A = this chain, B = another copy of it.
Amino acid sequence: MQLRNQVEWALHCSAVLAGVPPGRFLPARALAEFHGVPQAYLSKALQALARAGIVEGTLGPAGGYRLAKPPAAISFLDVVEAVEGRASTFACAEIRRNNPCASPAHPPTGPCAIARVMWEADEAWRARLAAVSLADLGATLAAELPAELRDGIAAWVADRT
């Protein structure tokens, strides 16, 4: 079980877009160049983010993407679910119903005990992701990144918006 690499790209793109000056747009081409990933495929991830209302895109020259909400209002979970979907990682196929001892007339009531445990773990995972916002990430990066690199990135982004 592995997350799509688009999840990683979407998170990094969201982090960069959080630093775009208000009212400006950063084109997908720039985001792809910045991260060194194929532009055509990255577009898919950005489109998924747009459908989820996390970013918004605009056509034409001077077009591109920007965050649709303040960074504090966007969690890791929002981004991950926009790309991966909202389905649980565990799909219960209800194989207990195939049990030859069970009477088809009395189907089991309530969700399977095994599925419940798996879904609880899934919830714990989501809760952790929901607890961290893009603003939190920005604060962490601001504290960790060398000032020189941070300014370099800001200039690079400003140059393409």
Contact = CB atoms under 8 A, between A and B. Distances in A.
Contacts of A93: 5, 8
Given A35-B99, A132-B117, A1 B124 contact: no
B5 A3 contact: no
B100 A156 contact: yes
Contact of A8 (B11, B33, B87, B90): B90
Interface stretch (A21-29, A47-55, A64-72, A137-145): A137-145
**Which secondary structure dominates chain A's binding surface?**
helix
A147 interface: no
A7 B90 CA distance: 9
A113 B89 contact: no
Contacts of A59: none
A44 interface: no
B1 A117 contact: no
Contact of A120 (B5, B128, B137, B156): B128
A4 B2 CA distance: 11
A2 B122 CA distance: 11
